[in-house]
């Protein structure tokens, strides 16, 4: 749908908001290339200059990444995620894990109160996929399923801001999982913080949910200290 005509600055803001919505809604998936400039100019009914101004604004926020000669890609689903991705590069794995501890425990506590039956079913399906991938030696799929599990717990919390903050950990979480997987003796299918967490969520037991998350993340901290 073409955008309403207006002066240059407000129109650029309007285009920026439209592009942001396309990313945030999932219409443009994470890590995928967005439509070409020509397509977007026709769809939005704006000039190349206005479109580039909007893309530049979202690239600056970290949501988009312009790759010269290749196109523009979705780098993060929100400004929060984009800023967090840049911020994580300046901090250690331990710092990130310590922040995750706060988010994970609160997500578990709230999920035990607010999760619906379809959340529990989705969590168990993700754990089944995680175990299958681990047994098959498909560690990329294993890491993706493990991350999907934790992200779904955050979503089941019922707090959209907590979920958005948690999603910002995606890239760092994935890289950390793969790094841990390469260490001898690492168990990619721990019950703590996973199967036992789902049981606690299903039973509406917030105290046990938080406790199993704490035990799992303390175990992760031990691995990082080795």
The pTM assigned to this predicted structure is 0.67
126 vs 3: CA distance, rounded Å:
41
In the predicted structure, residue 100 carries a pLDDT above the cut 90 = no
User: What is the C-alpha radius of gyration for the chain, rounded to an integer number of angstroms?
Assistant: 20
Token pair recorded at residue 172: 């760092």
Go through the domains of the chain in sequence order and give each one's CATH number.
8-76 (1.10.10.10), 81-225 (1.20.120.530)
- Between 48-61 and 37-44, two packed helices, what is the crossing angle to 10 degrees? 110
Pairing state of beta strands 71-74 and 64-67? antiparallel
Token pair recorded at residue 168: 């910002």
Strands (E), 75-123: none
Token pair recorded at residue 9: 């600055």
Among 7-16, 48-57, 77-86, 116-125, the least confident range? 77-86
In the predicted structure, residue 141 carries a pLDDT above the cut 50 = yes
In the predicted structure, residue 37 carries a pLDDT above the cut 70 = yes
Render pLDDT for 57-84 as a digit per residue (tens, 0 to 9).
998 888 899 998 899 999 877 776 666 6
Token pair recorded at residue 207: 């105290």
pLDDT at 126: 97
In the predicted structure, residue 8 carries a pLDDT above the cut 80 = no
């Amino acid at each position: 749908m073409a955008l309403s005509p207006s002066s240059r600055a407000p129109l650029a803001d309007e285009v920026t908001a439209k592009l942001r919505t396309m990313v945030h809604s999932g219409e443009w998936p994470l890590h995928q290339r967005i439509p070409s400039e020509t397509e977007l100019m026709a769809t939005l009914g704006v000039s190349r200059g206005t479109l580039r101004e909007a893309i530049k604004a979202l690239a600056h926020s970290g949501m988009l990444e312009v790759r010269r000669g290749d196109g523009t890609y979705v780098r993060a689903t929100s400004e929060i995620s984009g800023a967090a991705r840049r911020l994580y590069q300046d901090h250690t794995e331990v710092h990130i894990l310590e922040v995750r501890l706060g988010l994970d425990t609160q997500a578990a506590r709230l999920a035990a109160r607010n999760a619906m039956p379809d959340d529990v079913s989705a969590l168990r399906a993700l754990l089944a996929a995680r175990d299958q991938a681990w047994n098959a030696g498909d560690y990329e799929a294993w890491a993706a399923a493990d991350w999907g599990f934790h992200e779904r717990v955050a979503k089941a919390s019922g707090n959209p801001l907590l979920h958005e903050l948690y999603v910002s950990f995606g890239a760092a979480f994935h890289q950390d999982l793969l790094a841990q997987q390469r260490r001898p003796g690492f168990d990619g299918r721990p019950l703590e913080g996973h199967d036992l967490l789902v049981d606690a969520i299903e039973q509406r037991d917030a105290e046990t949910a938080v406790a199993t998350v704490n035990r799992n993340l303390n175990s992760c901290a031990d691995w990082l200290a080795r």
